[in-house]
């Protein structure tokens, strides 16, 4: 009797274990099956990354960026366009995790829990997706950005609607003919799977003077009555602060200091404003946070002067020290300055079927005040003016020192003031040189092409 009882218990024990395991498996299946099915290592689908059944991806004008012909996934017919949009659209490898083909692969392939990836064509909804980007603008921007072989990023978006018209990250490769990256050539392709627009942050240099200027406008009431003398060098906190190449700017007012990009004035301002208020302004403008773009969190920038000496605080005011900014973040901040202080959340998704958009969740748009409205208006009115063809632009360049043996990061960020082309942008070329020489030509092409796309010309 005792033995029978023991055996019953054992059977009961294993039965419970089995039911528990089966239940666990079912829950896991429901939660993760689409991930498992769509993993690139799933041999069943690995030929085209599981994308042979995926819907087409179009640009804002209906040009096919990616589509399936038979069992083959093909990309835009123009080399520069498909290479420039690699990080936005993605490729068959699914290695670029923030690209739409990776992020929305189960939605695009119409994965269903019941059918797996084998849902009959007749039951599938259309899973095509239209993006906000302009393929021609992205192709031309790619050519300009990759001209000197550097890695970099350029993004342009509509600060009224949030639509991203141009988004290009280098280094890149042709998704139609992807390279085999191995031990011998991996340094050549370093960072190639990263979308630098969304996922990288760089030393900002003088573009950070926009943040220091915003703080100065808020905290120094007589800022527009002040004047400074720049002799090219100044001892601040026991160490040197210098302007680029030690150039002396002479007498400057506040707007002149921003236009000439005088390091001495902005270094002195950062020290006068103080670590606490500089940090408050940087935080409000979103330097230390991620922005949510569709469902990707952008890389955070960095402004941390909690351990800074006086001289380091001074250098932080001109975007050096340990400061970092992300290109998309800077475009959003410039959009907010143009937009009376409020940010418009960027999106890459223009249209798709309703269920697809619901799954992606693009309608959860958020807006927040990054700059006090009065400060934004004042700052916008004193930012240096540029003409990009017929486009009127307010912008700031930056030449960010990144170490003794490396060339500086070239930056340009800003926005157009034309009502028919409300575009904000950020372009960075890593280890290039002067912002005006290396980032500005890229920004000009990107902005002009995007304005053309909006104006329909
Ligand atoms: Zn100066």
Give the model confidence (pLDDT) of 285-306 as tens digits. 999 999 999 889 999 999 999 9
Q: Do residues 128 and 352 make contact, with C-beta atoms less than 8 angstroms apart? A: yes
How large is the average pLDDT for residues 255-276? Answer: 98
* Token representation of residue 314: 């001074």
What is the distance in A from the centroid of ligand 1 to the CA of 266? 9
What separation in Å is there between the alpha carbon of 260 and the centre of ligand 1? 7
Asked, for residue 128, whether it belongs to a domain, the answer is no
Q: Rounded distance, CA 191 to CA 314, Å?
A: 32
Mean pLDDT of 156-163: 95
If you average pLDDT over residues 243-261, what whole number do you get? 95
Percentage of residues in the chain having pLDDT higher than 70: 86
CATH number at residue 444: 3.40.710.10
Closest by alpha carbon to 269, among 250, 285, 253? Answer: 253
Give the least confident one: 17-31, 52-66, 98-112.
17-31
CA distance 135 to 143: 12
> Residues 428, 329: contact at Cβ < 8 Å?
no
Q: Is residue 153 part of a domain?
A: no
Spacing, Cα 440 to ligand 1 middle (Å): 21
257 C-alpha vs ligand 1 centroid, how far in Å? 7
Strands of the 129-131 sheet, one edge to the other: 72-75, 64-69, 57-58, 129-131, 349-352
Distance CA(198)–CA(200), nearest Å, equals: 6
Q: What's the structural domain count of the chain?
A: 2
pLDDT number for residue 346: 94
**Structural domain containing residue 3:** 1-32
Least confident residue range of 10-19, 172-181, 380-389 = 10-19
Task: Report if residue 114 sits inside a domain.
Answer: no
Q: How far is the CA of 447 from the centre of ligand 1 (A)?
A: 29
- For residue 138, being part of any structural domain is answered with no
- Residue 342 CA to ligand 1 centre (angstroms): 31
The pLDDT of 239-262, averaged and rounded, is 95
The model carries a pTM of: 0.88
Give the distance (Å) from ligand 1 centre to CA of residue 246. 8
Contact 426, 330 (CB under 8 A): yes
38 part of a folded domain: no
How confident is the model over 363-372, as a mean pLDDT?
A: 79
| DSSP letter for each residue of 158-204 | ETTT-BEEEEEEES---TTS-----TTTTTTTTTTTS-HHHH--B--
Q: State in Å: Cα 247 to ligand 1 middle.
A: 6
pLDDT at 44: 40
DSSP state letter for 97: T
Ligand 1 center to 399 CA (angstroms): 14
Burial class (CB in 10 A: 0-12, 13-18, 19+), 366: exposed
Q: How far is the CA of 230 from the centre of ligand 1 (A)?
A: 5
Selected residue with higher pLDDT from 174 and 8: 174
35-81 pLDDT, tens digit each:
555 554 443 444 566 777 788 999 999 999 999 888 889 999 999 99
- Answer yes or no: is 167 within a domain: no
Question: Is there a domain that residue 340 lies in?
Answer: yes
Question: Distance from the CA of 39 to the center of ligand 1, in angstroms?
Answer: 54
**Residue 56 counted as domain residue:** no
- pLDDT single digits (tens) 305-353: 999 999 999 999 999 999 999 999 999 999 999 999 999 999 999 876 6
Average pLDDT over residues 407-424: 97
Question: What residue spans of 303-370 are helical by DSSP H?
Answer: 310-316, 327-338, 354-360
């Amino acid at each position: 009797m005792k033995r029978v009882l023991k055996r019953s218990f054992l059977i009961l024990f294993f039965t419970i274990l089995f039911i528990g395991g089966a239940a666990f498996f079912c829950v896991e299946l429901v939660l993760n099956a689409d991930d498992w099915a769509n993993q690139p290592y799933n041999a069943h689908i690995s030929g085209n990354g599981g994308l042979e059944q995926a819907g087409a991806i179009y640009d804002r004008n209906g040009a096919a960026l990616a589509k399936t012909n038979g069992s083959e996934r093909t990309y835009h017919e123009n080399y520069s366009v498909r290479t420039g949009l690699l990080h936005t659209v993605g490729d068959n490898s699914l290695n670029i995790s923030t690209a739409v083909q990776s992020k929305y692969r189960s939605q695009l392939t119409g994965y269903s829990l019941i059918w797996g990836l084998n849902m009959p064509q007749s039951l599938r909804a259309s899973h095509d997706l239209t993006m906000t980007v302009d393929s021609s603008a992205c192709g031309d921007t790619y050519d300009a950005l990759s001209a000197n072989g550097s890695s970099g990023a350029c993004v342009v978006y509509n600060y009224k609607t949030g639509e991203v018209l141009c988004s290009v990250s280098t280094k890149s490769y042709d998704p139609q003919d992807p390279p085999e990256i191995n031990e011998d050539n991996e340094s050549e392709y370093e960072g190639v799977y990263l979308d630098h627009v969304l996922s990288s942050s760089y030393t900002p240099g003088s573009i950070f003077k926009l943040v220091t200027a915003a703080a100065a406008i808020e905290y120094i009431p007589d800022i527009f009555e002040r004047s400074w003398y720049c002799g090219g060098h100044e001892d601040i906190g026991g160490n040197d602060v210098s302007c680029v190449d030690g150039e002396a700017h002479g007498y400057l007012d506040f707007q002149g200091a921003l236009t000439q990009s005088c390091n001495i004035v902005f270094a002195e301002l950062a020290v006068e404003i103080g670590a606490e208020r500089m940090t408050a302004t940087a935080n409000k403008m979103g330097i230390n946070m991620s922005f949510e773009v569709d469902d990707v969190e952008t890389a955070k920038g960095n402004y941390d002067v909690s351990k800074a000496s006086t001289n380091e605080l001074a250098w932080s005011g001109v975007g050096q020290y340990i400061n970092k900014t992300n290109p998309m973040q800077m475009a959003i901040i410039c959009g907010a300055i143009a937009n009376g202080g409020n940010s418009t959340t960027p999106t890459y998704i223009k249209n798709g079927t309703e269920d697809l958009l619901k799954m992606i969740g693009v309608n959860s748009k958020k807006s927040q005040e990054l700059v006090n409205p009065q400060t934004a208006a004042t700052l916008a009115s004193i930012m240096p003016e540029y003409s990009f063809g017929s486009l009127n632009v307010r912008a700031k360049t930056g030449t960010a020192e990144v170490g003794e043996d490396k060339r500086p990061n070239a930056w340009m960020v800003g926005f157009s003031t034309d009502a028919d082309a409300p575009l904000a942008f950020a372009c960075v070329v890593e280890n290039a040189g002067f912002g005006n020489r290396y980032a500005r030509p890229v920004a000009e092409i990107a902005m002009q092409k995007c304005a053309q796309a909006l104006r329909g010309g």
